[in-house]
Homo-oligomer: A and B are copies of this chain.
């Protein structure tokens, strides 16, 4: 095999937008032709967008997607294109790649290793073999695989191996793999090792863009038959990348990843795509003067522009003066819109309406929650009035501890930092100040004791340095109490945290879409029963 020019089309598709996605595909093909590419490769399910979920149960949608594919075929005259689409055959649906050449589909490849979510819709490929393609004057056997097909844990079929056994000379993987901490390095290792093991070039094409709670980070790349990097696309951005295989390729090194920069860019992409793809222009945020809402404000400003962000400070009688000052200062630093709406009066008014019912009772959780809910009502009132989208500001640690008010501070359409633990919230805030070379988020916000300020002298009842990683061990790593004891967490604390997580399960069943960044990234997330009497000793 010699000298084949490949185009990776790392593009940002939108679920359901057959018209728009088709245009992106056709324009990319034109660009690749202008650049004399032999093959252009798109991500998994490029045509439908990833992942369409129950839209795949819509027969018309599937039919339309096949109709659009047939239109795209006509644009592939002097180029080979690998286009992902949903393929219906004999009443079975497949996650497929159409191999198009000379304005004809010459072969269709189906996905073999379906993810759990995909199994709801797709049938599994049973026939793994490379595609024989004539490129210029040579015949090349191309092994095409789709996303999880490159997995090589024992549960899955080793698709690469089977393709190589049947003569594949190069592997092209069309993927839609969402961002998470540390995932990119793992992925690069898997691909490099496979290339080296089987002694062939390996091309990995990934989707870029936000779709609901998932952020696809791009970072498509190619390695030679020694596993050395020969091409790589940017992260979190669209890119057409051209390179050649089958000759002495120029070797480049994998770029060093700044984890915080990657996280920042991913969250910004997740937010901006959510707005762009749902058609919203303006965001509203409740500013407490605390670090969570400060961080969300910075991310939103970066994503949609500070003039489109409307922030509201809604002090109650329990709000400290420094909170209001900190909120105002933050808004000023960012150049976002800022308004103060005191809620003391509304709070007293609503409590007054229940004076008789509450006679003789003491101030408690109900009254604390009421303040958060009044704020939630005010923010939704403004959001509805001016067609703005409300961002929720909770972080992962408090979400799992249930330390938030349902229909109060959890209100919103998107929760940008709900998968960051409290320590990551601090780390990202510090990174932002460093990145912008100034105190965007002031030190007073970063160093003060976290507080919900819903009653006098109230501070968050957690030592986040211990509790934030502990919650992650339970939620992300499924650690048992016994294992946590061995890790030297205190028995009393472990029991308390398990109980808080269990007790708040019903709250999380009603939460907004949260941008996912921590493993395991599972579509629609954790699925715990609400009725659950299990008690671990």
Binary CB contact string for chain A from 261 to 291 against chain B (1 if under 8 A, 0 otherwise): 0000000000001100110000000000000
CB distance from A91 to the nearest CB of B (A): 9
A384 contacts B by Cβ under 8 Å: yes
**Distance A509 CA – B53 CA, assembled complex (angstroms):** 14
Chain B residues positioned under 8 Å from A55 (CB to CB): 528-529, 532, 534
A461 contacts B by Cβ under 8 Å: no
Those of A359-382 within 8 Å (CB) of chain B: 361, 364-367, 369-370, 373-374, 376-378, 380-382
| Interchain CB contact under 8 A, A513 and B530 | yes
A74 contacts B by Cβ under 8 Å: no
**Distance A534 CA – B361 CA, assembled complex (angstroms):** 53
Binds B, one of A13-21, A181-189, A230-238, A394-402: A13-21
A353 contacts B by Cβ under 8 Å: yes
How many chain A residues touch B (Cβ–Cβ < 8 Å)? 84
CB distance from A16 to the nearest CB of B (A): 3
Would A381 and B354 be within 8 Å (CB), given that A17-B533, A531-B277, A534-B61 are in contact?
yes
**Distance A45 CA – B17 CA, assembled complex (angstroms):** 42
**Distance A480 CA – B62 CA, assembled complex (angstroms):** 11
A246 contacts B by Cβ under 8 Å: no
| Interchain CB contact under 8 A, B380 and A373 | yes
Chain B residues positioned under 8 Å from A16 (CB to CB): 529, 531-535
Chain B residues positioned under 8 Å from A530 (CB to CB): 212, 278, 513
A57 contacts B by Cβ under 8 Å: yes
Binds B, one of A104-112, A131-139, A342-350, A462-470: A342-350
A512 contacts B by Cβ under 8 Å: yes
In chain B, what residue has the closest Cβ to A312? Answer: B357
| Interchain CB contact under 8 A, A527 and B527 | no
**Distance A98 CA – B339 CA, assembled complex (angstroms):** 64
Would A341 and B370 be within 8 Å (CB), given that A52-B529, A528-B53, A529-B15 are in contact?
no
Would A339 and B357 be within 8 Å (CB), given that A211-B531, A407-B380 are in contact?
yes
| Interchain CB contact under 8 A, B524 and A527 | yes
CB distance from A93 to the nearest CB of B (A): 12
In chain B, what residue has the closest Cβ to A522? Answer: B120
A116 contacts B by Cβ under 8 Å: yes
Q: Which of B350, B384, B481, B535 contacts A377 (CB 8 A)?
A: B350
A457 contacts B by Cβ under 8 Å: no
Q: Which of B15, B64, B528 contacts A531 (CB 8 A)?
A: B15
CB distance from A134 to the nearest CB of B (A): 36
**Distance A478 CA – B55 CA, assembled complex (angstroms):** 10
| Interchain CB contact under 8 A, B413 and A506 | yes
User: What 19 new A-B contacts, CB under 8 Å, besides A54-B528, A60-B481?
Assistant: A16-B533, A52-B529, A57-B478, A59-B478, A273-B531, A339-B357, A345-B353, A346-B353, A350-B381, A354-B378, A357-B385, A365-B384, A367-B381, A369-B380, A369-B381, A374-B377, A380-B407, A407-B407, A513-B530
Write the residues of chain A forming the contact surface with B, with a CB cutoff of 8 angstroms.
Answer: 14-18, 20, 49, 51-55, 57-61, 64, 116, 119-120, 210-212, 273-274, 277-278, 339, 341-343, 345-346, 349-350, 353-354, 357-358, 361, 364-367, 369-370, 373-374, 376-378, 380-382, 384-385, 406-407, 411, 413, 478, 480-482, 506, 509-513, 523-524, 526-536
26 A-B pairs within 8 Å (CB atoms) are namely A14-B533, A15-B532, A16-B532, A49-B533, A53-B528, A55-B532, A58-B534, A64-B536, A116-B119, A273-B531, A274-B531, A277-B531, A278-B506, A346-B349, A357-B382, A357-B385, A365-B384, A366-B382, A369-B380, A370-B377, A370-B381, A373-B377, A374-B377, A413-B506, A509-B512, A509-B513
Closest 10 CB pairs of A and B: A16-B534, A17-B533, A366-B384, A60-B480, A366-B385, A16-B532, A277-B531, A349-B349, A407-B407, A16-B533
